[in-house]
Amino acid sequence: REAGKTYQDAIDEVREAVDFLRYYANLSNVVIPNQREPLGVFVCISPWNFPLAIFTGQVAAALAAGNAVIAKPAENTSLIAYRATQLLIDAGIPCGLLQLVLGEGANVGNELTSDSRVDGVAFTGSTQVAKKIKHNLLNNNNNARLIAETGGLNAMVVDSTALSEQVTRDVVDGAFKSAGQRCSALRILLIQED
């Protein structure tokens, strides 16, 4: 309700969040301990359009890699992040290892990404904000890593073997679900001329 999702979009997002948790839990047991040392403190800044899945994915990835996490969700979907954090702590994530910080991105996000004690930032959102985060990290002589997902230019290729009914449904879903406000939204449609 907080994110304005349809019932099916909400179910799909819960499923995606569970997939992220399973994936990173398995990865942490097999791959990550043998590859590298944790960075330290990771700030995870998640968007409003996938307030559970991306929030959970960022947090789970950073925790699985052995980092402490400061999670800062989008201000308009902070209740979802609050409940997700409660569930993660109830599931056994130590409270001190995962901290939730709420507030406006322009203020709280700016402060977090300007702090020299931050060792990494995972961000999903606009290119403009990603550049601001990079600027903040560089200004503080911080060697922090930045992982930024800022959208994509997604295409669908339709050849002559496609069923027009299926293509129509997939084009509408791909372009307009979540009101088109997703990084994976269909933006280019390529159809075989014949």
Catalytic residues: 149, 183
Per-residue tokens: 85: 């954090």
Residue type, 44: C
Residues 6+ apart with CB under 8 A from 166: none
Specify the DSSP class assigned to residue 48.
S
Cα end-to-end distance, the chain, whole Å: 44
Nearest-angstrom CA–CA distance, 24 and 40: 17
DSSP-derived secondary structure letter, 108 = I
Coil, helix or strand at residue 16: helix
- The burial of 12, by beta-carbon neighbours within 10 Å (0-12 exposed, 13-18 middle, 19 or more buried), is given as middle
Residue 120, phi then psi, degrees to nearest 5: -165, 155
